[in-house]
Structure formats: C-alpha cells, structure tokens
A and B are shown apart, each in its own frame.
Chain A
Amino acid sequence: MSDVLDLTIADLAERVQDGSLKARQVTQAALDRIEATRDLNAFLYVAREAALAAADAVDAKRARGEKLGKLAGVPIAIKDALCTTDAPTTCASKILTKVGETNSGGTDPEHGFRAPYDATVVARLRAADAILVGKANMDEFAMGSSGENSAFGPSRNPWDKARTAGGSSSGSAVAVAAGLALGSLGSDTGGSIRQPAALTGIVGVKPSYGRVSRYGLVAFASSLDQVGPFARDVKSAARILEVISGRDPHDSTSSEQPVGEYEAACSRDVRGLRIGIPEEYFGEGLDPAIAASVKNAIGELEKAGCSVKPVSLPHTKYGIATYYVVATAEASSNLARFDGVRFGLRIENAKSDLTALYGKTRNAGFGAEVKRRILLGTYVLSAGYYDAYYKKAQRVRTLIKRDFDRAFEAVDAIAVPTSPVPAFRFGEKVNDPLAMYLADVFTLPASLAGIAGLSVPCAPTPAAGNQPLLPVGLQLLGPAFAEERLFSLAAEVERRMGGVRRPPSA
C-alpha cells in the first residue's frame, strides 16, 4: 500500500494544508490503487478526471494562499445512492441506467442517471476540499446485507475474497478497508453502515435520525434512512461526521441540534461512563468467537474505568418483523417514482399504453429483492391488511423505542455485537430472503428507535483451524444525539485493541 493512503485523515489533510503533500499526488495514488484492485468491485464508477481536476483545484487554492478545509486532499468514496453532479448515480440498479433520449445508453453504471444537483453531504465534502474518487457499489436501492443484490456484481471482502463485505453499503466499506480511499459515505436504514463496517474491520457510524441531511440521498425508508461515514480509525470517522452534520433547509427532518465536537471527543476520558449489556443480544445464534471478542472489548472498557451493568431490551426479537413491515411499506411508496417516464430505463413499443410502460419498465429495471420488498410493502399497506401489519408494526416500533428510553435512564451507552456472524460466503444466504434478514438482528432495533450507533473493530475472530482471521465489530449505541460519547468510547476500545488492523491483501 502506498504510504500516503496509510495516513489518518487528520495527518493527510495537515500535510496537504502545509504543502508537504500535493492533493494531485494523493489522488493519483488512490486512483492507481483502485485500478490495481478492480477484482474487489468496490466501485461502480471511478471519477478519474473529476477527481484529478478537484485535486488540482485544491492545490491551486493553496498556491493562492487560501486556507484549505478539514478534508484537504482526502480521497473519499461515495455510496451510489447519493446524488453527484459529476458522476452517474444508479443505486446499483438497472432502472437508473440507459439514461437520456431514446434510451440509447447501455445498462451499466457508465450510462447511469446524471443528477442535476449534489446531495448536501456531497456538497459539504467538496466545500471541505475532499476529493471524491468514485461511486461505491451497494445492494440495489440499499436493500440487502451482503452486496449480492447489486445489479453490477457484488463487492468482495478484502479479508477473504470468497466472502461478502456485508451490505448494503458494501463498496463504501471495501473502499476504506482495502485502502482505496481514506473515508467513505454510506447510508444506514437497518444496519447498512454498521454491519459492513463490522465485516470488513473498519469504523462505521449511523448517526441519530436527523443528525445528517438526506437531501440528495435516493430514499429507501424515509423514517429510518441516515447518511454516515466509514473510516479506518475512529478519529477519522469523527472528522467526516463533523463535516457532513447539521441542519439543512433542503431536508425538513434535519435537526437544528448543534453539531458536536466529535473529533475532540475521541481524546476524552471515559472513566465513570455506565455501559449497559442487554442479555437479549448475547443469546442463541451468536457466533461464540464474536461473543468472546465483544466481551473482551467490554472488559477493556471496564479497565478504562467504565461501569458495566445488565439492561433489558425485551422487544429485541421483534425488531426484524417490525422493520421488514415498516421499511418495505415506506420503500413501496418511495420507489413508485421509478416509472420509466422522467429518468432511467423505459420499456415501450408502438402498442404500449401507460400501464404497460410502467409494468414492463419496473419489472425489467428492478432486481428480485427490490421487487420482493415492493410487493411486501404494497401488501402490508393494502386494504384489509393495513391494520394487521403496518399499524401493528408501528405500535411494536413504539415498544422497541421505549425499551431503549428505559435503558438509557440507567446507562450512558449500550455495548453489543454488530453482527451475529462474521463475513459470510457468497451464495450462503442470498437465495433465502429470511436468512438474509436475520443477519440484521442486532442493528435493526437502533434504527427503529432513531438513536445513535457505531461499529468499531474489536479484534479478529481467533483462528479456528485454517479459517482466515475475520474482523469482529463492537456496536456502541447511545441516546439520540449522543454521538460524542460514542466516539469517546470507540476511541478507547481502538487504543486498547492496539489500533487499526489491515486485511492481508491491502
């Protein structure tokens, strides 16, 4: 790995700011490395020219004597669900390809939808002088937990290329884990940042609902979606979150709560913090090696002066059922906009009426999992089933939220595993939708409650036989807008675990 791509974000930005490194040089190193690791399929689109032009602009800005931003020259990957003016946006779906008059382009990301505006988070990264190197692969429309639902092939896990990188923000995780970018953005609706971060051994943050603007994020489930950062170390993730957070007039759900000092919080003492351990997250189905790693990390927090006490989250087991009703209902409504009329794929012939155009376009453009969720969501909202499914799930959502409210009266944060299993092999779950949904069991409840969460590596699984060492994620959960506290705890865990670990192939 090139040395510059090994730096933390703060170190790299400082060197670009003081002129000892050129943004151009860093960007070229990232692009070279992306080219050399094409087999990982981390990117759907590499923004080579735009990235080099942005790097030159940053270098020119410095040459003029202007002050550079907090992410000066830092290569960042963007999940393909976020709109960018200088690169296509496809959500890894064929329905956002073949764009333009007469549908002349191909069904590939190169011919993807061209957004007329930048997502607010993208604009904020650019304003901080970050270099956007490309659009990261993902499960189609962020629906999946392995990256295998991408219409353009899955991303591979750099720790073992026969395994998935988790999902849905699979490419964003792989880009960072393999050192192709120093940070990336993903979106987390039910675990899509935390779970791939855990499976690829990096840091992933799901901010509180409302912390980060979703303007320009292609909507999946609007009462759950949040944008958040990935990075190799806790402090780097904190810096990205500081840049992208805050009220945005274009997103009425974005909060006016002041943005925290997340980076400074990484150096704060955690002594005296109360950590809750819910037994519901340590039962049947949890890989014993993961349980051991997570308990070890909790022990380290105790050594650092935290107190540890049991808490109860009794409705945890209903999280999956609740989520797959609420999220699919919202998705079925959000994805109605993909109709073949205003953008993307259109299937029509001389005899097509409008209904046939909709039906044929949508069936050809969406993949199997997206169709499954649209149908499920339509069903639970349809006459006769609305109360039994949708209304019921919304009520259970209240119970799940109350569990957390009660727990946070007694503790400052909750520590649990991010995923019950380490990175799984391709094909292991993809043909059984329910088995795939169960992979999200530990991340869904926090999404339903809208609270803050992150995943931090807590040592690889101890070797068993010839198995490769696979990363394990510790998930830290806190009340809404308690991100600072989570960064303090995660940084403590990282220091005590001996810092950042790299996959063998990177």
Chain B
Amino acid sequence: MAITRDNVLHVAKLARLELTEAEIDRMQSDLSGILDYVNQLSELDTSNVEATATVAVVAAPFRSDTPIPSLPHDLALKNAPRSSSDGFAVPAFVDE
C-alpha cells in the first residue's frame, strides 16, 4: 500500500518532527517500500493467535511501598537547555 504525502505529514505531526520538503519526499518513498515489505504478514492467518506484547518469563514482582530519595532538584536540572529556579523553562504555551 502506497503512503501518500498527507500520510507522511500526518504522522510527522503526531511524532513532532518538522520535516523539510526533501525529507517528506524521501520518507514517502522509504515508508512505502518498507510497508510493502511488511504486508507479507497478511499471508498468515492469525485469527486464533494471541498477541505477544512481552516475553518476560514471569510476572514482574512487587516491591515494598517504601519511599526512597529521588533525584536532587539541582541534579535533575543540570542538563536542561534552559531552566529557572523551580523547573525547566519553556516558551509560553497558554494564551494570557
């Protein structure tokens, strides 16, 4: 199944990737090729097959509900491109 330009723009928006014009063309062609290949999965009848989401052998064990120290504030902000005293600084995103 061929991927349209609109498909690429839609998923790029969902994925928060601001692609260039050249990238949009390239991705349209690459994704179409890959999905053509992936379509071979439709040869298989899987109507009675359960989905595998994880291959963990046993269920994850519980841990005790005991508070432990979390990452110190200054350490958490250390790698931030822009921070203010109380957190990560971002452009305003709520209209005043």
Contact = CB atoms under 8 A, between A and B. Distances in A.
Interface of A: 98-103, 113-114, 116-117, 208-210, 223, 249, 252-253, 255-257, 315, 317-318, 320-322, 324-325, 332, 336, 339-346, 348, 352-360, 362-363, 366, 368, 371-372, 374-376, 378-379, 382, 389, 391-399, 401, 433-434, 437, 448-450, 480-481
Nearest to A390: B51
A371 B81 contact: no
Nearest to A339: B16
Contacts of A372: 27, 30-31
Contacts of B8: 375
B61 A252 contact: yes
22 contacts: A116-B71, A252-B61, A315-B44, A318-B40, A324-B34, A346-B81, A348-B91, A354-B90, A357-B90, A357-B91, A374-B17, A379-B7, A379-B11, A379-B31, A389-B38, A392-B42, A395-B46, A397-B51, A398-B50, A433-B30, A433-B33, A434-B37
B43 to A, nearest CB: 8
Interface string B3-36: 1000110111011111110010011001101110
Contact of A398 (B18, B52, B57, B83): B52
Q: Chain A binding site: helix, strand, loop or mixed by DSSP?
A: helix
Interface of B: 3, 7-8, 10-12, 14-20, 23, 26-27, 30-31, 33-35, 37-42, 44, 46, 49-58, 60-61, 63, 71, 75-76, 78-83, 88, 90-93
A448 B33 CA distance: 23
Contact of A209 (B15, B56, B75, B78): B56
B81 A344 contact: yes
Nearest to B80: A342
Given A210-B57, A321-B37, A352-B91, A359 B31 contact: no
Contact of A321 (B33, B38, B49, B55): B38
A103 to B, nearest CB: 5
Given A348-B91, A391-B51, A371 B17 contact: yes
